[in-house]
Structure 1
Amino acid sequence: MMLSSMTLSRKYVILGIAVAGLIGSLTSAGAQIQYQTGQNVAPVYEGWMHNDDGSIDMVFGYLNRNWEEVLSVPIGPENNVQPGGPDRGQPTIFVPRRFTQPPGERREQCVFRVRVPAGWGPKQEIAWTLTAHGRTDKAVGTLDPLDEIDTHVIAENRAFTITEGNKPPSIQSLKADPDTVTLPGTVTLTARVTDDGLPKPPAPQPGSGNAGGRGNAAAASSAVAALAFMGDASLDCR
């Protein structure tokens, strides 16, 4: 009888472990579901930055939780920044992850800034409220000292290498054709994008060591992306 009891108990233990493993697998699978459409867009407060004139920029980004769906949320009750809004320069087009983002990063970082005057109180707030697919989310920005950022912090968060003397890329608008447009017409903008070439591309890697082997040099390249911010756009790089 004692042997039978021990065997029965062992069976229950094994069964319990199997059930727990199954539940764990289901939980893990549920956590890894990638929704192509139907999900919300979460606004994100990135932090705040000092300006030379004493004013302050409150910086915001967002996360489109969909892997494929591009959402359009017009300025208004469902896309509203206050105080001073509803329009404070926030986007109305929300895209999924782009090729220019660091690997594993789906959030659109530092998309727009809301400028507040010098003397803005540490407890005063800028709130961005966004509703998508029936869900309302809000990002609230304050001047918490822990939220202060600068260009180096932004670069590090985007997995860029910090190089002394490195300047951000610049864009020069050359012409608009036509000069004026009436919606729903379109306008073609021509611009020149330049960069200082920093950081320098990495040195060629040693070859495999075989006779006649060749080193593998990392190609230095620049990427230009057009982000649909408040309307549809296309990009032709030459």
Structure 2
Amino acid sequence: MRWWRPSVTLLGTVLLFGTPIEGQVIPLGQRSFNEQVLRPSGQPVIPLYEGWYENADGTSDICFGYFNLNTDEAVDIPLGPNNFIEPKEFDGMQPTHFDRVPEANYRRHFCVFTVTVPRDFGQGRVVWTLGGRGEALSTPGKVIPPYVLDEPDAEARGVIAPVLKLEADGPQFRGRSGFTAATRTVAAGDDLELTVWVDHPAPRSWVGWSMHQGPAQVEFSRAEIQVDQSTGSGTITARFSEPGEYLMRVQSIYSTTSFEYHCCWTNGYVPVTVTR
């Protein structure tokens, strides 16, 4: 098992948090990184570099997650000057919708997307920047030994990532690099069924759905479910408030307590075209 500290910078300075006063939005440079900085709304979203792992073809995937410091407020930051990745060739897969801080013990959103870098990336950096609330936050993704991740298994802990399918006869996939399914189409205001098939040795596996990208709101019948291995699948519905192009994200892990060990789960993505 490997340990590291997620990396983030504030305008080139190490991110420190201090103790807030009730109702106050504290400048990031005065904070210490603990739950005392959480507020119902008005706080920024912190991009996080989680680590990296090597692929079979010699390329590497860099993992990014985020920490929304708001307990009640989801934050939307469109792709553009307040939500971008450099070098530009890696821009575009990052989320634009940031769910509020989870009530569960893991308290943040782990490795919600990856960026694939070439074999010869060396000491290069992939930098994700979020802004829009008066503070520009950047996190540099690097392929360096201290940040290597177990993927898709953690042999020392005997943990493996679930195998998922997003269609009954669709391809199986496993791990954080994920898989993007075929585009679904639904009218605004109608329910869209989203089913995931899960294969894992554990009796039950956690499945969580989120909006990854999109221009308006999505309402899930259940954002989190437990899938029994005996049935092997779980279905929810999503209802979209406005037309547009959306991207849903699904994550599955045998237990959410394993997020803190940074292994092992699977990401999947479902594009949705919403019509009038």
| Alpha-carbon distance change, 46 to 69 in structure 1, aligned in 2, over 3 angstroms | same
* Counterpart secondary structure, 1:150: coil
| Alpha-carbon distance change, 42 to 180 in structure 1, aligned in 2, over 3 angstroms | closer
Please name the residue that 2:112 is paired with.
111
Question: Could you tell me how far 1:87 is from its partner in structure 2?
Answer: 3.1
Following the alignment from structure 1 to structure 2, what is the Cα–Cα distance between the partners of residues 54 and 86?
18
Moved more, 43-52 or 144-153: 144-153
Please name the residue that 1:13 is paired with.
none
Question: Could you tell me how far 1:107 is from its partner in structure 2?
Answer: 1.8
| Alpha-carbon distance change, 62 to 53 in structure 1, aligned in 2, over 3 angstroms | same
* Counterpart secondary structure, 2:146: helix
Number of matched pairs: 178
Please name the residue that 2:197 is paired with.
193
Residues 61 and 109, structure 1, Cα contact 8 Å, conserved in 2: yes
Which structure 2 residues correspond to residues 1-150 of structure 1 after superposition, within 5 A?
30=21, 32=36, 34-85=38-89, 87-98=91-102, 101=104, 103=105, 105-122=106-123, 124-150=124-150
Which segments of 5 or more consecutive residues in structure 2 lack a partner in the other structure? 1-17, 22-31, 170-182, 223-233, 236-276
Residues 168 and 197, structure 2, Cα contact 8 Å, conserved in 1: no
**What per-residue deviation string (whole Å, max 9, x for no partner) do you get for residues 146-173 of structure 1?**
11112378x79xxxx9326x44241332
Q: Which residue type is aligned with residue 95 of structure 1?
A: D
| Alpha-carbon distance change, 121 to 221 in structure 1, aligned in 2, over 3 angstroms | closer
Following the alignment from structure 1 to structure 2, what is the Cα–Cα distance between the partners of residues 183 and 172?
20
Higher strand share: 2
TM-score (normalised: structure 2):
0.55
* Counterpart secondary structure, 1:229: strand
Moved more, 107-116 or 221-230: 221-230
Please name the residue that 1:230 is paired with.
213
Which segments of 5 or more consecutive residues in structure 1 lack a partner in the other structure? 1-26, 199-219
Residues 181 and 187, structure 1, Cα contact 8 Å, conserved in 2: no
Q: Which residue type is aligned with residue 228 of structure 1?
A: M
Please name the residue that 1:213 is paired with.
none
Q: Which residue type is aligned with residue 75 of structure 1?
A: L
**What per-residue deviation string (whole Å, max 9, x for no partner) do you get for residues 126-161 of structure 1?**
0001014222100011222111112378x79xxxx9
Q: Which residue type is aligned with residue 61 of structure 2?
A: D
Give the root-mean-square deviation of aligned CA atoms.
3.2
Please name the residue that 2:271 is paired with.
none
TM-score (normalised: structure 1):
0.63
Please name the residue that 1:209 is paired with.
none
Q: Which residue type is aligned with residue 118 of structure 1?
A: R
